[in-house]
Amino acid sequence: MEQSDRGNPYRYDMAGLQHKALEIRRDIITMLVEAKSGHTGGPMGFADVATCLFFHELAYKPAEPKWPDRDMWFFSMGHVTPIHYSCLGEAGFYPLRDLMKFRKFDGQLQGHPSCLDTPGVEVSSGSLGQGLSIAFGTAYGSRMDGHPRRVYALCSDGEHQEGSTWEAIMAAGHYKLDNLCTIVDYNNIQIDGYVEDTMGIAPFAEKYRSFRWNAIEVDGHDLPAILDALRQARACKGKPTVILARTIMGYPISFMRNLYEWHGKPPTPEQGEKALAELGTTYAEWSSRLLSN
Q: Could you give the CA distance from residue 79 to residue 222 in angstroms, rounded to a whole number?
A: 24
Burial class (CB within 10 angstroms; exposed 0-12, middle 13-18, buried 19+) of 185: buried
Positive or negative CA dihedral for 220, 223, 226, 230? Answer: positive
Residue-level pLDDT at 1: 28
Q: Would you list the DSSP string of the chain?
A: --GGG---S----HHHHHHHHHHHHHHHHHHHHHHT-S--HHHHHTHHHHHHIIIII----TT-TT-TT--EEEESSTT-HHHHHHHHHHHTSS-GGGGGGTT-TTSS--SS--TTTSTT--S---STT-HHHHHHHHHHHHHHTT----EEEEEESGGGGSHHHHHHHHHHHHTT-TTEEEEEEE-SEETTEEHHHHH---SHHHHHHHTT-EEEEEETT-HHHHHHHHHHHHH--SS-EEEEEE--TTTT-TTTTT-GGGSS-PPPHHHHHHHHHHTT--HHHHHHHHHT-
Q: 46-291 has which fold?
A: Rossmann fold (3.40.50)
Residue-level pLDDT at 129: 87
Q: Which one-letter amino acid corresponds to residue 239?
A: K
Residues in the chain: 293
Q: Could you give the CA distance from residue 119 to residue 63 in angstroms, rounded to a whole number?
A: 9
Q: Return the biggest CA–CA distance within the chain.
A: 53
Q: Could you give the CA distance from residue 151 to residue 243 in angstroms, rounded to a whole number?
A: 13
pLDDT, tens digit, for every residue of 75-115? 999 999 999 999 999 999 999 999 999 999 999 999 999 99
pLDDT, tens digit, for every residue of 267-280? 999 999 999 999 99
Q: What is the phi/psi pair of residue 119, to 5°? A: -60, 135
Distances 25 to 21, 270, 288 between C-alpha atoms, Å: 6, 17, 16
Residue-level pLDDT at 58: 98
Residue-level pLDDT at 127: 84
Residue-level pLDDT at 3: 36
Residues of the chain whose pLDDT is less than 70? 1-5
282 CB-near residues (< 8 Å, 6+ apart):
273, 276
Q: Could you give the CA distance from residue 146 to residue 120 in angstroms, rounded to a whole number?
A: 23
Residue-level pLDDT at 92: 98
164: number of Cβ within 10 Å? 15
Q: What is the pTM of this model?
A: 0.96
Q: Could you give the CA distance from residue 261 to residue 12 in angstroms, rounded to a whole number?
A: 34
In the chain, where are the structural domains located? 46-291
β-pairing, 189-190 vs 193-194, is antiparallel
Positive or negative CA dihedral for 265, 271, 277, 281? Answer: positive
